[in-house]
Structure 1
Amino acid sequence: MDNPALFEARWAKLQAAEDEKTNLVQDLIKHTRELETKLSDTQAKLEREHDVADMYHTREKEQKGHLHKLTQALAKMSYISVLVDGDCMLFNQDLVTAGEGGGRQAARLLRSAALAHVRSVRDLPANTEAVVRVYANIHGLSKAYADAGWIPTLAAFGTFANGFNKEDAYCDFVHAGDGKECADEKMRAIFRMSVDSCQCQHVIFGGSADNGYARLLGSYRGADKITLIEGPPFAKEISELAPSFSILKCTEVFSATTQIVSKVSTGRALQTRPATASNSYATALSNPSMLPPVDTNQSQRPTGAQAGVPLTSGLARNAAGQRIDVPLIYSGKAMKKVKARKLCKKWHIIGSCSYDTDRKPCVYEHSARVDENQLAALRGLARFSPCPKGLQCGDTSCILGHQCPKTNCTNGRDCNFGKKLHGVDTKIVSWD
């Protein structure tokens, strides 16, 4: 008979095995419950994520629809901006002479040329409009055109501008004011606004005969949104920038010159920049188009008008009513030449000399007159002698200086000009 202890040992092993089976089943049940819980949590999370995805999908569809509508709305309001400085961009004579009909034709030609050009360089919505604005000193232009014989009266130019405005609702010929800066400031402001506008597809800029716009255009060098109009030749600084932009030649609208011949001043070439332009010395010296013109066909004995006196035949004055010497343009080489000669300034500049009489001739040179550049230099040299009447001088033939011509002069002992003739406001606001 077997030993009972062996049975007990065997029973113990079986009992241990059963306990292990029980523990295994319990562990499996526990793990299954944990998996079920995780599965439930995952399903709930997936449902939430699905709901979020549906929400974002719905929002995306709504945003796409809104964006499409916005794009359509912007396309309906898309335009190109055509900006013209009428003071330096002359319209062709046949257009100005034709009055209202010429104004209408100018607007029509400019608008169609602008749209055709832009469509050749970029894609445009089919309904793109051309918004054309011409800013100018209409009073100054009227006088220039009337003096040249293009129009019979000053008021006649208004019919041209009226026709330009009436041709199309998007075409405006705007009187910017009586000073140069009025048109310039408006041009700059509308130019920047147009370039930054998402509705403006392209900007066509017509002011390239004026060096004053070089700084404005320089900051947009290479921008494919900008085109320059070439009517008259580009000013020196603008010509250096021109290769960075596309060019629109519009010879059917604009003259190839910035000057017209005045019939009231012995055939002088008349600058169309208004004589009342608000110029400082520094501005004028950097921009010759802002200076009064000088005759290039003078007789051997020059008259006051031929010697560079402004076409207005008046005196330039600042806001305080003080006389201002109009800036001059001449080379250093010309100044050296006139300094080296003993020229009679009065004779060469105004054509007469009070010191030259039969009894006692003038000791200074009255020979063949100097050329245009030397004449300007001679006028500049004369201004280094102060006028006794200073800022109150009303003599239109006076060639002396009415404020110190030196740059940054400290009014030291070596200066012949009095204290009141320094720091003078040189901004010209009127002529008389």
Structure 2
Amino acid sequence: MTPIPNGLSIGDYQERLSRYKDAENEKNAMISELIENLDEARSEYRQTTLDLESERVGRRRLQDRVAELETLTRSQNGRGFVVVLIDADADDYIFQQRFLNRNEAGGRDAADELQARVKDYLRTIQIDVENTDIVVRAYADVKSLHGACIKNGKMKSGASLSLFVHGFNQRQGLFDFVDVGPGKESADNKLRECLDFFIGNWQCKHIIFGACHDSGYAPYLGRFAAEVSVRDRITLLQGVAVHPRIAALGFRRILKLDQVFNPYMLSTVPVSSSKSSPPARATSSTLPTRPLKAATGFSNAAALSHRLGPVIRNENRKRIDKMLDVDITSPYLGIVRQTKLCPWFYLRGRCEGCDGNHRVPPLNARESDYLWYHARYGLCHKIRKGKDCDDPRCVYGHEEGNRIGSGKVSG
């Protein structure tokens, strides 16, 4: 091979060129690798940036939620309220005559008395009454309730339930006696909606529920009875009696406010499924509204004492009792028992003085039968001694084990 003038041969240049090519290829490969690594780093950077932003947003949301919970905690630990819900259409929750007969002044006094008695109760269940508002919602058809109170002697004819309601509402800022208008379900629906609302409001520390007379509330209240934390926030406000189906739900707290409401029913009895003729109705124009105090004892001229007789005997001449028109499954039997009505006063028309209740208005025929049935739990003392009883006005039982009676007689 002919040497190049500088002393290098063609082969030398070819070898050098090969080395340069290898170096160039290595450089290009390195650049490609760097570009690939840079692209991967940029991708990771973008993902990290997105993750960081997501974490930043999540942290802000968490901070906002913590602030909300702190505000909620402060509100719960601060001033809460207790609500009293009342089915004021029901006989069990009629305000006392001393309030109803005094119009606006009576309404104001009723509101004060209710607030005072509720506060007394709340202290017994360790609620700080000084930092707790008391809210009252009473629902009724005021027009119909006014008529019933006049008819049953719970209000004087010149008194106005509307004025009583005005005084009640104006006395306390959080007390509302609401006129729901006609319709049996109007007050019921209001009470159910209110209970649902206040159960879900944790500023509401406690609920006093005044609609325990009606078995229709039992399935509804049963939803709350199973959960202890909810059940313990509810107190049943007892009127005359808590209906057995509601009592069976297991609510631990029951409150009775005899200082506020009439501790007995108006003169009405639920209609049973029997086909007997409807009972006679007592009216305020024909019957007294309170017992007449005699020189000794009590007299009740309106008692249907003629219904007690005559004495009925079977074919063996053994005395049997007049058959009564009662439904033994009716909750009214429990009401009669709890009100402790005096059978001598309400059935015979005269009591020489006892610890029984003589304050309820006179009973009609159906109501008398319920009381008579209850009185027959006591067997006539003559029958107990093996003797015969010929007193046509004896109110006690003469057929042991049969309080309904088996004797058929008109009246």
TM-score scaled to structure 2, two decimals? 0.53
* Residue of structure 2 equivalent to 1:407: none
Letter in 2 for 1:309: A
* Residue of structure 2 equivalent to 1:102: 106
Q: Given the alignment of the two structures, is residue 299 of structure 1 paired with residue 323 of structure 2, yes or no? A: no
RMSD: 5.8
Alpha-carbon shift at residue 54 of structure 1 (Å):
4.1
Question: Which consecutive residues of structure 1, in runs of 5 or more, have no partner in the other structure?
Answer: 1-12, 270-280, 312-325, 338-364, 383-397, 400-432
Letter in 2 for 1:214: A
Q: Deviations over 1:12-35 (max 9, x none)?
A: x99999998776665444333322
* Residue of structure 1 equivalent to 2:210: 206
Q: Given the alignment of the two structures, is residue 132 of structure 1 paired with residue 137 of structure 2, yes or no? A: yes
* Residue of structure 2 equivalent to 1:238: 246
Letter in 1 for 2:152: A
Alpha-carbon shift at residue 205 of structure 1 (Å):
0.7
Aligned length: 317
Give me the whole-angstrom Cα distance separating, in 2, the residues matched to 1:291 and 1:252: 19
Whether the aligned pair in 2 keeps the contact of 1:214 and 1:237 (CA below 8 Å) is yes
Letter in 1 for 2:42: S
Distance 1:329 1:65, change over 3 A: same
Secondary structure in 1 matching 2:242: coil
Whether the aligned pair in 1 keeps the contact of 2:218 and 2:245 (CA below 8 Å) is yes
Whether the aligned pair in 2 keeps the contact of 1:284 and 1:327 (CA below 8 Å) is no
Q: Deviations over 1:311-353 (max 9, x none)?
A: 9xxxxxxxxxxxxxx997997xx8xx9xxxxxxxxxxxxxxxx
Distance 1:300 1:34, change over 3 A: closer
Q: Given the alignment of the two structures, is residue 263 of structure 1 paired with residue 290 of structure 2, yes or no? A: yes
Letter in 1 for 2:219: R
Secondary structure in 1 matching 2:36: helix
Secondary structure in 2 matching 1:286: coil
**TM alignment of 1:7-406, pairs within 5 A:** 27-57=29-59, 79-86=81-88, 87-96=91-100, 98-114=102-118, 120=125, 128=133, 130-135=135-140, 137-146=145-154, 151-153=155-157, 155-175=159-179, 183-196=187-200, 200-221=204-225, 222=228, 223=230, 224-230=232-238, 232-241=240-249, 243-258=250-265, 262-263=289-290, 266=301, 286-288=330-332, 296-297=343-344, 298-299=347-348, 308-309=364-365, 368-369=392-393, 371=395, 377=404
Question: Which consecutive residues of structure 2, in runs of 5 or more, have no partner in the other structure?
Answer: 1-14, 268-287, 292-299, 305-324, 351-360, 380-388
Letter in 2 for 1:286: S
Alpha-carbon shift at residue 44 of structure 1 (Å):
2.7
Distance 1:171 1:307, change over 3 A: closer
Secondary structure in 2 matching 1:160: helix
Whether the aligned pair in 1 keeps the contact of 2:326 and 2:366 (CA below 8 Å) is no
Give me the whole-angstrom Cα distance separating, in 2, the residues matched to 1:381 and 1:199: 60
Secondary structure in 2 matching 1:220: helix
Secondary structure in 1 matching 2:206: strand
* Residue of structure 2 equivalent to 1:429: none
Give me the whole-angstrom Cα distance separating, in 2, the residues matched to 1:289 and 1:143: 23
Whether the aligned pair in 2 keeps the contact of 1:88 and 1:210 (CA below 8 Å) is no
Distance 1:309 1:327, change over 3 A: closer
Alpha-carbon shift at residue 111 of structure 1 (Å):
3.2
Give me the whole-angstrom Cα distance separating, in 2, the residues matched to 1:118 and 1:263: 34
More displaced 10-residue stretch of structure 1: 42-51 or 73-82: 73-82
TM-score scaled to structure 1, two decimals? 0.51
Whether the aligned pair in 2 keeps the contact of 1:205 and 1:226 (CA below 8 Å) is yes
